[in-house]
Structure 1
């Protein structure tokens, strides 16, 4: 005769448990600590983390249990003891508290007494719990052990003598990041956590080991010894280096952003943050940051007042209205600034307005669209097809979600021109040259694998979106999704590409490709570093160099100074209040964090002042709320279509991807990220057969000849690149002359 449930009215997948006398329902298979957390009953812990696999090795969460009136023979770890019907748990009785205090005493035997100099001081879990569970005087007189430190890269600092072997960092790199870079060495009292080979961490999520570490063993190397936690103010902000829009806090002291930490949002970034979003704040304080209005006078740059700068800009725009003017906008520009830029273009009578800086083929008038499946639900799909995407570098945290899905049975297929390094296994892969990507989707086996899926997703990445025949690739992806019943998710090319699309920052006359191919007599550049932010860098430089240019810029860099006539300094996203729209179509807001440098101003204020100077309609608001409440300019009824680039020429197809830490001006100026192992120097990567045919070898310097220009680059021979292709990372000055068409490689 089976036992009757304590509460027969509960759902069949729940049981009744009693924690410190509080009756509650808990899902079958869940652990005591999860039920207690849900009820708000605190249980001390170090090794347990809700996002990591259970290890049960710190034993700090020991509790007393009783079932059917019989007490357990010894305390149980709450993180590894599943609930059962009628279970009674005591977290604060004498037996439980004695066990917890004994564990704390053992943990402190070897822990150094360096709280005054530890970066974790003030936000240390060990420090907090030792206050309630530790002794004021240790009973142990033995000498504390010392553990040597490792240099594990430019982002994470180590002080491994403080380590309590909770293994959170090991489980993070193994189970979340998927790089298996940290592990336990030796045994017993000699156990140490390290990399074994002494190499730096290569994961693009390495900063998260700082967050999960409960002590000061792993700390933020960039923030090291800069400030104490109680000196910092937290400001809500967003990641602005990819379309995910990760939620984060800026930690600010006296107007300076000193560090960035994740802000929990299960529907976007969970509790994680990519290194690109975490450490890019260093770029805010680059030496070439634009801090005063600049005007070129007789070929020389002079600092001028805001009145003079705005007057010079308005003079250029008055003289070059209508079709003579092109407006080019960085895709990370905020919704508010985008709204005003659309008004500025309309007021000046130009339909030459675009934010799709890296697009080569817009013959289908393609614009950004929200994901067909919400970000948080993609990990529940059973089949995913990656099409033309180095997802690990494009969207590190979406890549992490796919890894999570793959561990639960998700099958992932890739159609790419390079066998990219993913941290999940691929069910199949087609590695073909870019010109064969569309036909690779016709594979019958791939169709069969996707057709039978409960939920299938096709993710189209930057390689496809920015290809010279991108329209054909988008058509092929849409046809494949339609034929197989898969949801189509095209990655927006920019942090706020979707928001700018909705704000009407789109062309009715000429798109970005046409504005470069058919140079205008004047341009407005907004937030753009012209030497590195265009897919066709050389052509853009030529077009801009022949025109009058008004640059709203974060940096007074060499390439901006070379082409601009006026530079108006504007605030970066961490310094302003703004909204961005992420790839789900979710509009998210930021608070001002860092202080605006020098005389820089919020971009919307500069645009409002310029609109007033030009006496344009729609610029009569006085604050941000007024701007948001004002009607927007209607988006163009039809987006301009440029002619499709001719698929002609001889040579090797170019696979052009953005370097993970070369995506925008702030990332490129973040010194720590530039030292990261994933940030590689400019190079051309070739298949061995192509290198042999070209007469070049690994390590040799070669000339890469493209229609736009010639680049001189070292050769890397790697058969992960499809035969008939060369792989080049953009975002470097050395690779700027190369577009995404065809090239010839010859020995230098």
Structure 2
């Protein structure tokens, strides 16, 4: 390597060619005059062309040959649809074009000019991201002119960029670093004072060092096009141009943290992660988010026993490449207020640590001393499918059928899967041309689902109607009512919105799971299904009747049959809380024995008599089903804390001490049991649609209450035991939420 570095100093062209990773050794052996393009072109041999694999494996299917054009990339013929850009043609030919401002999910800006290529008969290099292809166009990406143009652009970008890479959190994963190594020069000609820009305060999540900004405007376009907020913009002109807020304010979007990922330099970085670690020190583990029911694909970066950060993972069907701020920044809650050892409450009301043997023996003795009908089990909103089936089997063997899950409300209906799933699928919402949102606020309940709706409204001008309490949406919508009366008027054809549903080609109704807790839930569902039937919301090839769940455990719990009514709490004498912190225990008898099994000292601990410490989602392998019915797995990223154990292992050990031993000793055996109860939970990354006909739906004769709908999520940043233990989420709650 030292010999090659010495060669780079011999001649500028050798330096430039060696810095390009796509050139061969034949290029290094030539030393033409860089300032004589004709001599340089003659000295460079013609490359050999062969079919290449498109970058990222992307392939374009052309439906109509008449709508396609053929272009030549470095002599290689490429067919692609009309209207596509030169950069996309190069990608299909397997040629990677450098870029800073271009992003596949954002509109084209064309302002960084790093993607310059040479096009035959064009007087100067063109920006490939903004130039549409034309029939017979001959594109050259490796000519000395294109290389010299990119080197000049890189020189201008580095002209005012500070030399602070050693202290920049983007170091090691910076696009500017990578591309300057390949396309940049080894020296600069700018000797004047570098400009500086005042940093902006965007809130407790995003750190700004605006002197590093190269004005690619990715963050501006993301804020307006994906997040749906007009918080960022371009101010000034020329050398005074900078990114900022028109009026000094914080960035209040639930997706604001994604600007950290799309920023190609170190101008926008994670404020909680600042100066904590370098990316090469971290171990990445692919897992699933459990803070809501979307099931976003994430990567957990850890160092030793500590989770250092959480990043998004690409999944086009669920979260694309975005995650919510709660998903990204709640990781510090995984190390605070953790339960380390089994504990029992003594006569003074204080907890003292004990061994697992003693704790299990005490619980087993109490469980055998109560009537089986007085035993109740409640699964928390972060419970995985394996732990819920173990809890259900254990209580069934103890003689009790009183097993439920938080958030599923009164008398949940689990026989028909389409009655509690997002039947259109998350990605399928983009096909809808009308939305009726009933009692749900997707912006705080499921930000990634809300982003799909916002994307559809922006692309197709789809109409959105909303029934519920006043809420802040980030797209145009019509607030047509606050309660069931509006729903009843639409069902009976008296509301003006009926004509909009009838004229829509693919209408979609989204019912919030917050309505499941109402006593007239069955009547609301009957009214919604009446609207669906009369408005053609459900038809062959399109099922637009959707239920948006709130918690990660709800769909799995309904598939597994955890459908007991919360009313059984009133007569319970033994309550098994498996991570259940939001269960209403006000009606619980004072002499009832409460076992709390969880990973955080949250609300459920205050009523507990015995505590079993369990593993968090980042420390165990578990199955979670998201709101559209897609089963996914979490993978352990860090070791367990203290003497905690996986939930299903604790239930299995308790069953043996209690004399009702469960018939599985491994995770595979538990999943074999899952396959007999709910086979769809083993079809990972697959969605099993419900095929039950409308005639089999039960008839509800419940009376509809006229009480207005309420908000299911009061505080977006604090919804479960992990987020409530997070210092970062507490800062967001106090800073970003309007009082």
| Class of the TM-score when normalised by the shorter of the 2 chains | 0.7 to 0.9
Partner residue of 1:184?
234
Partners in 2 of 1:641 and 1:431 — Cα distance? 26
| One of 628, 636, 642 as aligned partner of 1:598 | 642
In the alignment, what sits opposite 1:626? 669
Q: Does 1:240 align with 2:290?
A: yes
Matched-pair contact (CA < 8 Å) for 1:17–1:84: yes
Provide the rounded CA distance (Å) in 2 between the counterparts of 1:338 and 1:260.
26
Task: Tell me the alpha carbon deviations over residues 222-262 of structure 1, each in whole angstroms, 9 at most, x when there is no partner.
Answer: 11111000000111111112111000100111121111110
1:391, distance to aligned residue in structure 2 (A): 1.2
- CA shift in 2, pair 1:439/1:463, >3 Å: farther
Other-structure match for 2:554:
497
Q: How far 1:617 sits from its partner (Å)?
A: 4.4
Q: Pick from 525, 534, 543 the counterpart of residue 483 of structure 1.
A: 534
> Once the 2 structures are TM-superposed, how far is the Cα of residue 163 of structure 1 from its aligned partner?
0.4
Partner of 1:20: 74
Q: Using the TM superposition, name which of 256-265 and 349-358 deviates more.
A: 349-358
- Match status 1:52 vs 2:106: yes
- Seen in structure 2, the aligned counterparts of structure 1 residues 321 and 217 have a Cα distance that, compared at 3 Å, is farther
Residue 574 (structure 2) pairs with residue 522 (structure 1): yes
Structure 2 counterpart SS, 1:562: helix
1:661 is matched with 717
Which range moves more in the overlay, 434-443 or 198-207? Answer: 434-443
* Aligned mates of 2:469, 2:243 — CA distance in 1: 34
Give 1:40 shift. Answer: 2.8
- 1:316 to partner: Cα distance: 2.2
Partner of 1:295: 344
Instruction: Give the secondary-structure state (helix, strand or coil) at the position aligned to 1:12.
Output: helix
Task: State the Cα distance separating 1:413 from its structure 2 match.
Answer: 3.0
Q: Distance in 2 between matches of 1:519 and 1:647?
A: 27
Counterpart for residue 554 of structure 1: 599
User: Could you say which residue in structure 1 is the equivalent of 2:38?
Assistant: none
Counterpart-to-counterpart distance in 2, 1:89 and 1:150: 41
Question: In the aligned structure 2, how far is the partner of 1:614 from the partner of 1:496?
Answer: 26
TM-aligned CA distance change 1:228 to 1:364, over 3 Å: closer
Matched residues, number: 652
Q: Please list every run of 5 or more consecutive structure 1 residues that lacks an aligned counterpart in the other structure.
A: 1-7, 684-748
Corresponding residue of 1:690: none
Measure the CA separation in 1 of the matches of 2:519 and 2:737: 25
Structure 2 residue 520 is matched with structure 1 residue 469: yes
Change (3 A) 1:29 1:38: same
* Aligned-residue offset at 1:408: 2.1
Distance 2:158 2:287 in 1: 37
Counterpart Cα distance in 2 of 1:642 and 1:429: 28
Aligned counterpart in structure 1 of residue 205 of structure 2, from 145, 155, 172: 155
Superposition deviation, residue 372 in structure 1: 1.9
Output aligned runs, 1:120-135, within 5 Å. 120-135=170-185
Contact 1:384 1:458 in 2 (8 A): yes
Give yes or no for contact 2:469–2:710 (8 Å, CA) kept in 1.
Answer: no
Taking a change above 3 Å as real, the CA distance of residues 95 and 331 of structure 1, as seen in their structure-2 partners, is same
1:220–1:59 Cα change, 3 Å: same
**Aligned partner of 2:404 among 327, 350, 354:** 354
Tell me, in whole angstroms, the C-alpha distance in 1 between the residues paired with 2:373 and 2:267.
60
State the Cα RMSD in Å.
2.7
Distance 1:220 1:201 in 2: 14
CA contact (8 A) 1:545 1:563 kept: no
- Quote how far apart the aligned CAs of 1:112 are: 0.5
Q: Structure 1: how far apart are the matches of 2:330 and 2:599?
A: 14
DSSP 3-state at the match of 1:224: coil
Preserved contact between residue 468 and residue 708 of structure 2 (Cα < 8 Å):
no
Aligned to 1:96: 146
Once the two structures are superposed, the pairs formed by residues 263-282 of structure 1 within 5 Å of their partners are 263-282=313-332
How far does residue 169 in structure 1 lie from its aligned partner after superposition?
A: 0.3
CA shift for structure 1 position 682: 10
Judge conservation of contact 2:203–2:736 (CA < 8 Å) in 1.
Answer: no
| Cα pair 1:503 1:632 within 8 Å, conserved | no
Task: Determine the C-alpha separation between the residues in 2 that align with 1:459 and 1:501.
Answer: 19
Deviations 1:248-294 (A, max 9, x none): 100111121111110000000001011111111121112x2111111
Normalized against structure 1, the TM-score is what?
A: 0.82
CA distance in 2, matches of 1:408, 1:652: 32
How far residue 356 of structure 1 moved from its aligned partner, in angstroms, is: 3.8
> Does 1:144 find its partner at 2:194?
yes
Matched with 1:563 is 607
Is 1:369–1:492's contact at 8 Å kept on the other side of the alignment? yes
- Higher fraction of helix: 2
Contact 2:289 2:297 in 1 (8 A): yes
**What SS does the aligned partner of 1:588 have?**
strand
Tell whether the 8 Å contact from 2:487 to 2:528 is kept in structure 1 after alignment. Answer: no
Q: Residue 22 of structure 2 aligns with which residue?
A: none
CA shift in 2, pair 1:211/1:457, >3 Å: same
Say if 2:439 is the partner of 1:388.
yes
CA–CA distance in structure 2, aligned partners of residues 36 and 339 of structure 1: 51
Report which stretch shifted further, 31-40 or 206-215.
Answer: 31-40
> In the alignment, which of 225, 230, 249 is matched to residue 199 of structure 1?
249
CA distance in 2, matches of 1:631, 1:197: 55
| Aligned positions of 1:421-432 closer than 5 A | 421-426=472-477, 428-432=478-482
Deviation at 1:669, TM superposition (A): 2.0
Residue 654 of structure 1, CA deviation: 5.5
CA contact (8 A) 2:523 2:702 kept: no
Aligned to 2:454: 403
Identify the residue that residue 720 of structure 1 maps to in structure 2: none
| Structure with the higher strand share, 1 or 2 | 1
The separation in 1 between residues aligned to 2:699 and 2:507, in whole angstroms, is 31
